[in-house]
Amino acid sequence: MRTTQNFRDVLPDLESGKFKEISAHDAHSWEAEFYKNSFAKLLTEQWLELWAQPFVGLTTDGVITPGLYNRENHEIPIQDIVATAQELINGCTAAQLRQLKFPLHARQWRSWSNPEIYISKYGLRLEEIPDSLKEIIFRIMERTVSPEGYRKLRHAMKVNAFLGDLVRGPKVLNEHSYNFLLFGDPSTTDAWGWSVYGHHLCMNVYLHRAQITIAPVFVGAEPNIVDEGPNTGIVMLDREEALGLQLMQSLPGDLKKQAQVYRDMHDERMPPGRWNEADQRHLCGAFQDNRQVAYEGLPASRLDSHQLNLLYWIVEEFIIYLPTTARRYRLEQVRQYLDETYFAWIGGFGDNDPFYYRIQSPVIVLEFDHHSGVFLDNKKPAKFHIHTIARMPNGGDYGNALRGAEDRLE
């Protein structure tokens, strides 16, 4: 959905502040520059403290609801995925393998973060490896996720490169400024997985035989439209935006009031911790694996059939990375918990208003947020900077609820 505000109206002054220096930096030196900022240092320390905690999972009250996730046959092409992953292993040097591979239960699953700052140096950095290895990694991704999901994750990378060109920082923000990790040994019979993370794209994939879990997933874009260069025409996250707004606008007045938990994007009624400078309205982002997030907003049981269809279309767009059969199973699972599903909204709901929404149940948490500028110069949230998150609460993230005791996450 295009808006009346254009991101080019808020391009930063590239001759001042951090933008004057970014062209001279790569990911490593930019991280050092980042830590000169006291807020940045404190944020990282807080994240690392959360990372050190044992994994429990996202809950409403700190108590996991058991028995929500089951073994299923998603008919994924596990032989092809394993063969391609083995090709990557065979192509790596001993040093590269030490960077790439981790035990299945390793804490590094949870080390992902979405800023451009190179906080977690695990896995193979795509921009630092030969093209031959990059090509294999992309084939692993392509053979694992759905065709439309693969296109979307590659678009996220290309939008990141567009941002790098906009701010003259292509060595910090580019199509390959992402890390790729393998967990366990690729196998057609035993569990294993992979993850990729970097600016505006983080994805965690757990595989066991013909079953696939993809969560947590973070996808964002600033700006969400590419208007020049080889990737002109890419638009990111517009469907999640449009469907969410359609659902909110379709509600009658009393249900709108119940769904809208805060009128303003940074509302003075928000309790401490409900908004922060890094995640803004998001609750379930990087290093929030064990966060307690209470239900709020409108029970989905109050929606009519058209509104329920809109809600399910939102869910389907968020889980588009799952292959067809897995996506069908996942949608059916979400439907089973309709009576425990909530839709919450922050902000206005006019056509050009920025907003946040969350869909939450025992088996899914989806967040959509319009952000203020990080690289662009909009001080308030705008529709051309979007963050989205998809999680599987109650231990479903990283496939943890499906693992044997010896393979549970640290």
Instruction: Say if residue 216 is preceded by a cis peptide, omega within 30 of 0.
Output: yes
Please state whether the predicted TM-score (pTM) of the whole model is above 0.75.
Answer: yes
pLDDT computed for residue 4 by the predictor: 55
Percentage of the chain modeled with pLDDT above 70: 99
pLDDT per residue as tens digits for the range 25-74: 999 999 988 888 888 888 899 999 999 999 999 999 999 999 999 999 99
pLDDT per residue as tens digits for the range 200-241: 999 999 999 999 999 999 999 999 999 999 999 999 999 999
b/e 331-341 (16+ beta carbons within 10 angstroms → b): bebbeeeeebb
Contact between residue 300 and residue 338 where contact means Cβ atoms under 8 Å apart? yes
Contact between residue 202 and residue 286 where contact means Cβ atoms under 8 Å apart? yes
Region at 184 (left for phi over 0; alpha for psi -120 to 50; beta for the rest): left
pLDDT per residue as tens digits for the range 140-196: 999 999 999 999 999 999 999 999 999 999 999 999 999 999 999 999 999 999 999
Residues 6+ apart with CB under 8 A from 250: 306, 307, 310
pLDDT per residue as tens digits for the range 90-119: 999 999 999 999 999 999 999 999 999 999
pLDDT computed for residue 18 by the predictor: 85
- What backbone torsions phi and psi does residue 361 show, to the nearest 5 degrees? -150, 180
Measured CA to CA, the distance from residue 22 to residue 24 in angstroms comes to 5
Contact between residue 213 and residue 206 where contact means Cβ atoms under 8 Å apart? yes
- At 378 the three-state DSSP class reads coil
Contact between residue 310 and residue 142 where contact means Cβ atoms under 8 Å apart? no
Average pLDDT for the chain:
96
Contact between residue 397 and residue 291 where contact means Cβ atoms under 8 Å apart? no
